């Protein structure tokens, strides 16, 4: 049915199998820094219109692959599709972050939340995965993703973005039982959602824990990591005879890598504050690493970008187990030529560390 | 001339001398969560009016001490007084962060910057320190402070606050020499400024490195930490026969504590992502630690605040060398009664760990 993979470097590196050069992709690679993306979004009307239309989601997913020799595609979608499918009414206001029409503030609110069925309630995402897999036609693997339970919970309790997580942290500390009930429900929903994406054709999945790194070490362990661990344990790990690698990315989680490495994932995503060489020594052979250039280095000139890529490759050292990426999503003001210089530098400069 | 200190717990803990209970203060303790502060600010007209009037700066510095049994006072001022004295024209727009009328964008801009003379160019800060010392009358020690060179540089290059440090990081990576010239000048200015505060009566000083933790590990070392180290080496360390402790606080610097502990400071400030017990093991006997409750715990009920204080005290363990604080500034929406419960819990629950 599906074409064999022409480029499987990304999957091989995640599983610590030998590769010719270090594979590379960029978080938010289908994003506003690309003029063709801005044009598609204009046509779609709004951001969620783009996410909910499988043909258009496919179109923008493939745009960065037309420009650059990237080693993976990532499903174009939003991390808040699950709370939206739970009935909270996601919307975006211009110039502001995501908002929900209904927020979750009490044990009764949590009790009332349904666990969405991916095929029935998030069919547009599953359709997008199938469409993208078909259009990719084996060029590179497709990554599926979800937000982590804690990250989703912050938006659901706050009713949108937050600077200090006032309501979600008050719930966590005042009523840990209610917070655990919410996180447990979200862990079930994320597990079903990612398994739906895997069945639809995702060849690797990443859990984005954008806000876990804003918790104390103790609260991170209890309210974020254990739920990601539970999800990983419930995921389909082989499909069509091939292992489905799982990547865990806690932004600002550099202090906790040893514990994250025990969660059952194949790889950890690193932000740029971590030295990747130290990170490799700390996690040993347990997991592969993905990262970790400061996305703001892309504001510098191509020579400076190349020097920073060289520094990170040298810090990681020889051998497989490294997927190059930015330490966070690429930002809207980056010059697309600079992103190109970044990707080219990774492929060119990494050959000497392999084979 | 000056009254002897009635409560020197704070200074003793920073120097790892025995104390009866763990001393406590809160970053931004003179802040918008206090109705009396909001009234003073209203009277002053604006934020810089408050900073520039020594009598009013003294008034708001003392407000939290009237309410709570805090173990230290901190000079009320802004971290951007130095760039303002360099001629950049600091101003605040309602609802926005700080802004400068002139930004620093080139080697020529940097060359043209003067190093301010604290007494001549920042006399209002020195006057505020003297006024507060007089009014404190030995009740508790007074902390002076400055922003770190890297933190100041980001505002100066961006022309204000920034999300991704686009211009300052582009300068760092494209023209490291220019960035080093700027940071060197700022290190000289901060050294002179803190020494001015010490001569005027500050009994401890803290360097706020608010944005160092947004750099890669390598860039942090080269562009933030070395300049703080240079400042510490240039500070007056004894005044009126008493040691002047220096506290280094890099927000989000938990990965780099070992290196920070070598910078010559007496204590490190910790944000709440670090486990303070692990931090103590990592830095050993080299420095005292200050921190580290998540400020958002103050949104929870007093019982939950008390439980979190107990957890942090237990994590630190027995003996001196701990100054309790929040992991970052107290936020405007906190109920003042909750801040009171926090301070009371530290004093009450810490006695068993001492003497």
The predicted-structure confidence for B295-344, as pLDDT tens digits, reads as follows: 999 999 999 999 999 999 999 999 999 999 999 999 999 999 999 999 99
In CATH, the number for domain A30-291 is 3.20.20.210
3-state secondary structure of B143: strand
Q: Nearest chain B Cα to A307, which residue?
A: B173
Alpha carbon B272 to chain centroid distance?
A: 15
Contact B169 A300 (CB under 8 A): yes
In tens digits, chain A (355 residues) has pLDDT values of: 567 999 999 999 999 999 999 999 999 999 999 999 999 999 998 899 999 999 999 999 999 999 999 999 999 999 999 999 999 999 988 777 899 999 999 999 999 999 999 999 999 999 999 999 999 999 999 999 999 999 999 999 999 999 999 999 999 999 999 999 999 999 999 999 999 999 999 999 999 999 999 999 999 999 999 999 999 999 999 999 999 999 999 999 999 999 999 999 999 999 999 999 999 999 999 999 999 999 999 999 999 999 999 999 999 999 999 999 999 999 999 999 999 999 999 999 999 999 8
For A86, B20, B208, B304, the CA distances from B72, given in Å and listed in that order, are: 49, 15, 17, 24
For B255, the closest of A166, A218, A273 (CB atoms) is A273
Q: Tell me if B267 sits within 8 A of B14, measured CB to CB.
A: yes
| Per-residue pLDDT tens over the stretch B107-130 | 999 999 999 999 999 999 999 999
pLDDT score recorded for residue B96? 79
* Antiparallel, parallel or unpaired: β A90-92 and B98-100: unpaired
What is the C-alpha to C-alpha distance for residues B232 and B237, in angstroms, rounded to an integer? 9
Q: Which run of H or E residues covers position A333?
A: none
Flag whether residue A225 sits within 8 Å of chain B, measured between CB atoms. no
Question: Nearest CA to CA, how far is B127 from chain A (Å)?
Answer: 34
3-state secondary structure of A110: helix
pLDDT score recorded for residue B316? 98
Which residue, chain included where needed, has tokens 């690797």?
A204
Contacts of B95 in chain A (CB under 8 A): none
Give strand pairing partners of A291.
A324
Flag whether residue B225 sits within 8 Å of chain A, measured between CB atoms. no
In tens digits, chain B (355 residues) has pLDDT values of: 567 999 999 999 999 999 999 999 999 999 999 999 999 999 998 899 999 999 999 999 999 999 999 999 999 999 999 999 999 999 988 777 899 999 999 999 999 999 999 999 999 999 999 999 999 999 999 999 999 999 999 999 999 999 999 999 999 999 999 999 999 999 999 999 999 999 999 999 999 999 999 999 999 999 999 999 999 999 999 999 999 999 999 999 999 999 999 999 999 999 999 999 999 999 999 999 999 999 999 999 999 999 999 999 999 999 999 999 999 999 999 999 999 999 999 999 999 999 8
- What residues contact A126, with CB distance under 8 A and at least 6 apart? A118, A119, A196, A197, A199, A200
Predicted TM-score (pTM) of this structure: 0.97
Q: Where do the H-state alpha helices sit in B137-235?
A: 149-158, 166-174, 176-200, 217-220, 226-233
Is A280 designated active site?
A: no
Q: Looking at beta carbons, which pairs linking B52-55 to residues 24 or more positions away fall under 8 Å?
A: B52/B124, B53/B124, B54/B124, B54/B127, B54/B128, B54/B130, B54/B131, B55/B131
Is A306 designated active site?
A: no
Q: For chains A and B, count residue pairs whose Cβ atoms are closer than 8 Å.
A: 105
As its CATH architecture, domain B9-353 has Alpha-Beta Barrel (3.20)
Task: Give the CB-side neighbour count of residue A130, counting CA atoms within 13 A.
Answer: 12
Best CA proximity match to A252, nearest among A266, A264, A269: A269
What is the C-alpha to C-alpha distance for residues B338 and B335, in angstroms, rounded to an integer? 5
Extents of the domains making up chain B = 9-353
Is B139 designated active site?
A: no
Contact B304 A278 (CB under 8 A): no
pLDDT score recorded for residue B355? 81
pLDDT score recorded for residue A355? 81
Give strand pairing partners of A180.
none
Is A99 designated active site?
A: no
Q: Tell me if A224 sits within 8 A of A215, measured CB to CB.
A: yes
Q: Nearest chain A Cα to B330, which residue?
A: A164
Question: Nearest CA to CA, how far is B96 from chain A (Å)?
Answer: 14
Q: Which among B33, B37, B68, B155 is annotated as catalytic?
A: B155
What is the C-alpha to C-alpha distance for residues B221 and B174, in angstroms, rounded to an integer? 17
Flag whether residue B278 sits within 8 Å of chain A, measured between CB atoms. yes
Q: Which run of H or E residues covers position A189?
A: helix A176-200
* Antiparallel, parallel or unpaired: β B267-269 and B246-250: parallel
Give strand pairing partners of B289.
B268, B322
Contacts of B214 in chain A (CB under 8 A): 273
For A304, the closest of B173, B254, B301 (CB atoms) is B173
Which residue, chain included where needed, has tokens 């639809």?
A200
Is A105 designated active site?
A: no
Question: Nearest CA to CA, how far is B139 from chain A (Å)?
Answer: 33
ipTM over 0.90: yes
- What residues contact A47, with CB distance under 8 A and at least 6 apart? A41, A78, A92
Question: Nearest CA to CA, how far is B325 from chain A (Å)?
Answer: 14
Q: Tell me if A100 sits within 8 A of A155, measured CB to CB.
A: yes
Q: Which run of H or E residues covers position B238?
A: strand B238-239
pLDDT score recorded for residue B93? 82
Contact A217 B164 (CB under 8 A): no
Contact A300 B174 (CB under 8 A): yes
Give strand pairing partners of A73.
A142
């Amino acid at each position: 049915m599906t074409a064999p993979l022409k480029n499987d470097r990304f999957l091989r590196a995640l599983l610590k199998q030998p590769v010719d050069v270090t594979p590379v992709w960029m978080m938010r690679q289908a994003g506003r820094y690309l003029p063709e993306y801005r044009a598609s979004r204009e046509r779609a009307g709004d951001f969620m219109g783009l996410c909910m239309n499988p043909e258009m989601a496919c179109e923008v997913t493939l745009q960065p692959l037309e420009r650059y020799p990237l080693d993976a595609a990532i499903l174009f979608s939003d991390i808040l599709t699950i709370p939206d499918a739970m009935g909270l009414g996601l919307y975006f206001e211009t110039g502001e972050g995501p908002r929900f029409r209904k927020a979750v503030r009490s044990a009764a609110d949590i009790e009332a939340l349904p666990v969405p069925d991916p095929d029935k309630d998030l069919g547009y995402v599953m359709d997008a995965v199938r469409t993208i897999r078909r259009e990719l036609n084996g060029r590179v693997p497709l990554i599926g993703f979800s937000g982590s339970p804690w990250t989703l919970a912050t938006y659901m309790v706050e009713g949108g973005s937050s600077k200090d997580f006032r309501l979600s942290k008050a719930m966590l500390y005042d009523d840990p039982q209610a917070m655990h009930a919410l996180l447990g429900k979200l862990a079930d929903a994320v597990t079903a959602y990612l398994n739906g994406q895997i069945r639809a054709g995702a060849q690797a999945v990443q859990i984005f824990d954008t806000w876990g790194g804003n918790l104390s070490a103790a609260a991170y362990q209890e309210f974020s990591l254990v739920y990601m661990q539970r999800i990983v344990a419930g995921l389909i790990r082989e499909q069509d005879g091939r292992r489905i690698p799982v990547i865990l990315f806690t932004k600002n989680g550099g202090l906790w890598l040893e514990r994250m490495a025990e969660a059952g994932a194949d790889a950890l995503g690193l932000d740029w504050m971590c030295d990747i060489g130290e990170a490799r020594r700390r996690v040993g052979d347990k997991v592969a690493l993905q990262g970790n250039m400061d996305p703001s280095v892309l504001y510098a000139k191509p020579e400076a970008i190349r020097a920073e890529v060289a520094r990170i490759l040298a810090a990681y050292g020889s051998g497989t187990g490294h997927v190059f990426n930015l330490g966070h999503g690429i930002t809207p003001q980056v010059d697309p030529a600079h992103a190109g210089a970044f990707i080219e530098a990774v492929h060119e400069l990494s050959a000497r560390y392999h084979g």
